[in-house]
A = this chain, B = another copy of it.
Amino acid sequence: MKITNFRNVETKEVDDPDAKGVKVRWLISEKDGAPNFAMRLFETEPGGHTPYHQHAWEHEVLILKGVGNLVTENGSFSLNKGDAVFVPGEENHQFKNASEETFIFLCVVPHQK
């Protein structure tokens, strides 16, 4: 059992040359004994974005604060507080801040085996 407020979890800059102004907190991960998947909180500055990329694993996302865009091969879609987003494996995607406030979202991913 673990309870921790997100504010008490270390913030790391997302270490990817195609990311800009994105920080991540690993709220629950393998270190906590989580056997299957990890819960991360992303904070994206105004003008910031994750890389436009693809990978084998899925994302399950909940938008917590701010306004963003999800960029895909099929266009760009507005993201607002309370939106749930499922990004299947292998699909190109990018999360972008679209406002002047911090864009915050939760993103759950399976552990990389």
Give the interface of A toward B (CB within 8 A): 1-7, 9, 27-28, 32-37, 39, 58, 60, 62, 64, 70, 72, 74, 77, 79-80, 82-89, 91, 93, 106, 108, 110
Tell me the minimal C-beta distance from A87 to chain B in angstroms.
6
- Whether B79 contacts A110 by the Cβ 8 Å rule is no
In the complex with contacts A2-B86, A28-B60, A80-B5, A37-B39 CB distance below 8 A: no
- Whether B3 contacts A70 by the Cβ 8 Å rule is yes
- Whether A83 contacts B35 by the Cβ 8 Å rule is no
B-side contacts of A64, CB under 8 Å? 64
B-side contacts of A1, CB under 8 Å? 70, 72, 74, 85-88, 91, 93
- Whether B37 contacts A86 by the Cβ 8 Å rule is no
Given contacts A1-B86, A1-B87, A36-B36, list 20 more A-B pairs with CB under 8 A: A3-B70, A3-B84, A4-B83, A4-B84, A5-B80, A6-B83, A7-B82, A9-B84, A27-B62, A33-B86, A33-B88, A34-B60, A35-B58, A36-B110, A37-B37, A37-B110, A39-B60, A39-B62, A62-B62, A108-B108
